[in-house]
């Protein structure tokens, strides 16, 4: 055995130790490159996989979601378990489980077409982004279509893990120890809702409504939603709120219609 052959294991061990060493997380962007088919083969695949034409119309269903009763006090989140989390917030952070304004308008309610949408609908190529910033998920509630890319980004200089807890889809639990890391996932089946949590920071949670059509909305601070581009037809519209459950209404629209429907969820 030569001297260089005897030294190789030592060099490998040193490189591994450097790559797995401690210290502050560094900023990085994870990229993956994969070899693929030739250009003609890619063109043929793209033609074969071309999405169907969008079945959109000109009708709109809009409205508001309100809470009947007194909303619970929002819980103040304690982040002192991780100084990196705590130092990013100059003001207190509160739970988003129930967010209602002075008139009872409810934020973060997922409103979508549960039935009546005649697909198939093209899958958007652009991803939906779920960001971890300030040890908090942004957004708290969002919608995404089946097979649409979900880009999960760690914008914090601390470890996060994304623990998705679907029941109809494949669960996953991915660690992101480095600031700037991005993981892309997809959901193969409709599911309302998919919960996300972080085991490292148990106060972090988010919800995704996975649907097979593009007709959905999430209420803002004023409790308002709007579902646009609907073809003429009759639809079941459902509103989901993480504490107060679901409520549905049926509405019919003609081409060019704008119909208003409101939901009222009751606080115990």
- Does pLDDT of 11 surpass 60? no
Higher pLDDT, 74 or 3: 74
In the beta sheet, which residues pair with residue 225? 63
pTM of the predicted model as reported, rounded to 2 decimal places = 0.80
On whether the CB atoms of residues 258 and 59 are closer than 8 A, the answer is: yes
Give the mean pLDDT of 240-258: 97
pLDDT tens-digit map of 149-203: 999 999 999 999 999 999 999 999 999 999 999 999 999 999 999 999 999 999 9
When pLDDT is cut at 50, 70 and 90, the band that residue 55 belongs to is low
Q: Is the dihedral of CA 160, 109, 60, 51 positive or negative?
A: positive
> Residue 32 — φ and ψ, nearest 5°?
-130, 130
Give the mean pLDDT of 12-36: 39
* Best CA proximity match to 183, nearest among 206, 152, 211: 152
Query: Which domains are present in the chain?
Result: 53-118+218-268 (2.60.40.1120), 122-212 (2.60.40.420)
pLDDT of residue 45: 44
The 3-state DSSP class for residue 221 equals coil
Q: Could you tell me how many helices (H) and strands (E) the chain has, helices first?
A: 3, 17
- In angstroms and rounded to an integer, the radius of gyration of the C-alpha atoms of the chain is 23
Higher pLDDT, 191 or 44: 191
On whether the CB atoms of residues 230 and 253 are closer than 8 A, the answer is: yes
- Does pLDDT of 53 surpass 70? no
Token pair, residue 88, equals: 């990013």
pLDDT tens-digit map of 135-151: 999 999 999 999 999 99
Using alpha carbons only, give the angle 125, 131, 132 rounded to the nearest 5 degrees.
Answer: 155
Beta strands in 17-127 (DSSP E): 59-68, 110-115
When pLDDT is cut at 50, 70 and 90, the band that residue 59 belongs to is very high
């Amino acid at each position: 055995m030569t001297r260089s052959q005897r030294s190789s294991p030592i060099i490998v061990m040193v490189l591994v130790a450097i790559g797995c060493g401690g210290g502050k997380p560094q900023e990085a962007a994870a990229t993956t490159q994969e070899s693929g088919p030739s250009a003609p083969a890619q063109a043929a695949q793209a033609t074969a996989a071309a999405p169907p034409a969008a079945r959109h119309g000109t009708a709109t269903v809009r409205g508001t979601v309100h809470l009947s009763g007194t909303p619970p006090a929002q819980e103040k989140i304690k982040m002192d378990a991780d100084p990196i989390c705590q130092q990013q917030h100059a003001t207190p952070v509160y739970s988003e489980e129930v967010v209602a304004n002075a008139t009872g308008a409810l934020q973060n309610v997922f409103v979508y077409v549960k039935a009546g949408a005649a697909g198939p609908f093209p899958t958007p190529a652009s991803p939906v982004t779920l960001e971890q910033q300030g040890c908090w998920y942004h957004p708290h509630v969002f919608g995404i279509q089946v097979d649409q890319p979900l880009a999960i980004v760690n914008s914090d200089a601390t470890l996060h893990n994304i623990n998705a807890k679907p029941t109809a889809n494949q669960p996953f639990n991915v660690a992101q120890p480095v600031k700037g890391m991005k993981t892309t996932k997809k959901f193969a089946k409709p599911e309302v809702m998919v919960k996300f949590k972080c085991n490292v920071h148990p106060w972090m949670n988010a919800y995704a409504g996975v649907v097979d059509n593009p007709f959905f909305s999430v209420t803002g601070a004023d409790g308002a939603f709007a579902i646009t581009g609907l073809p003429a037809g009759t639809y079941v519209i459902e509103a989901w709120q993480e504490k107060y459950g679901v409520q549905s209404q049926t509405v019919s629209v003609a081409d060019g219609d704008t119909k208003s429907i409101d939901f009222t969820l009751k606080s115990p």
